[in-house]
Structure 1
């Protein structure tokens, strides 16, 4: 059984993590929800909630909690305390080999580490800036980026890393004027070919539930839903 929390933490790590009572508190360093949210490691109560809130505010971060499958009591407690749902997210996965049955067109995708300036520009245009690039640098395990080209022009990029035999794709971005040309599909397959060469038997990624287009693409590629999580945060006027 894949430990999805461990895969996410290893392939998209926070700047720092520490235990704080029944919580794991993350220092996000501006890298977004996934590296900033607190997670419960044991049953929690309202006093524990107040303690976690104080710890996150001491870091200069908004109080933010990740709620995973099965954490219904935590979800109810946060809801009762006024925390609202943010970014429901689907975990998708499949055997790596199932994504490597068709070749990727020649000169479409290239493995590159560290990422090129052209990749950084594509990410920046999609809202993935230095704080998220720093997350990629922090990954300690096997990792790479994929650089996609169409008509011999820079067109897309992604990051992929491996933990305990499972590859996880992050940060897939296709330049606006190159979308709807099949590049996201080609890059995903290319990442799976790379993962297979590294010995990863399972391939996975995260996608927000609201991203209907991406969910349709990944489902068509055979990446099945294997889990979900969401965040809870105070409304902006109360945070």
Structure 2
């Protein structure tokens, strides 16, 4: 993955627009610390595709455990050797995720009048919509610490607040996070209007690309983004270890075979 590749730009935008509370560099690893907020702000990442030494990995695990976080890493598709290294240490894989992206000009269609707004800071009703979807104060705190330009989108349907999303820009890419539509207003075009507004906002903020990350398991959302003409730019998944270092050692060491006779 070269620094100017589409995947590299989207990956950098993900990190910049959904930032951890604290980061720490350790060799080729970047560790992330946050009080909640999900895997994106607590998972460490590897720069490049060459795995760290066992000593560096053990040091990283020690630091994350001291933070009260289970060791967790976000693994890109090209990092198979590191993925195998973590698997051999007993790490479990979870949440395979896809990057979707599209040129902003292809999505920038003016939504109906009064159908969408961009507002910062978000209104109480937007906080409520997120809360109804399980997006609580920890993730709102992530939005608060994201650098500008950023905004919160509000979508309306039948004169009622119906949807919200968070949008922030980094180096020519606008990244959408936490897009939520209230169940009663789904399949009414609200999400499509928010995506159109996102593209228009992105263009006003000198962004040529609109991007987002969605889990592979979210089939409905993937079908929606496919229908918009967005394309899969890349993928990643997580590997999670245990909080207890003794458990990790036990899982990494195979049991002795055979039996002893006395």
Q: Is the shorter-chain TM-score for this pair beyond 0.5, marking a shared fold? A: yes
Q: Is residue 71–residue 243 contact of structure 2 (8 Å, CA) maintained in 1?
A: no
Q: Structure 1 CA distance, aligned partners of 2:180 and 2:163?
A: 6
Structure 2 residue 39 is the aligned partner of structure 1 residue 38: no
Q: Note closer, same or farther for the CA distance 1:53–1:236 as it changes in structure 2 (3 Å cut).
A: closer
Q: 2:164: which partner in 1?
A: 157
Q: Is residue 158–residue 173 contact of structure 1 (8 Å, CA) maintained in 2?
A: yes
Which structure's CA Rg is the greater one?
Answer: 2
Q: 2:147: which partner in 1?
A: 140
Three-state SS of the structure 2 residue aligned to 1:30 is coil
TM-score with structure 2 setting the length: 0.87
Q: Structure 2 CA distance, aligned partners of 1:133 and 1:10?
A: 15
Q: Structure 2 CA distance, aligned partners of 1:210 and 1:11?
A: 23
RMSD of the TM alignment (CA)? Answer: 1.6
- In the TM superposition, residue 236 of structure 1 has moved relative to its aligned partner by 8.8
Q: Is residue 108–residue 186 contact of structure 1 (8 Å, CA) maintained in 2?
A: yes
- In the TM superposition, residue 189 of structure 1 has moved relative to its aligned partner by 1.2
Three-state SS of the structure 1 residue aligned to 2:35 is coil
Q: Is residue 93–residue 237 contact of structure 2 (8 Å, CA) maintained in 1?
A: yes
Q: Structure 2 CA distance, aligned partners of 1:147 and 1:175?
A: 12
Say how many residue pairs are matched: 238
1:1-239 aligned at under 5 Å gives the runs: 1-2=5-6, 3=8, 4-41=10-47, 43-100=51-108, 102-234=109-241
Q: Structure 1 CA distance, aligned partners of 2:102 and 2:11?
A: 17
Q: Structure 2 CA distance, aligned partners of 1:49 and 1:236?
A: 15
Structure 1: give runs of 5+ residues left out of the alignment.
none
Structure 2: give runs of 5+ residues left out of the alignment.
249-262
Q: Is residue 68–residue 243 contact of structure 2 (8 Å, CA) maintained in 1?
A: no
- In the TM superposition, residue 73 of structure 1 has moved relative to its aligned partner by 0.4
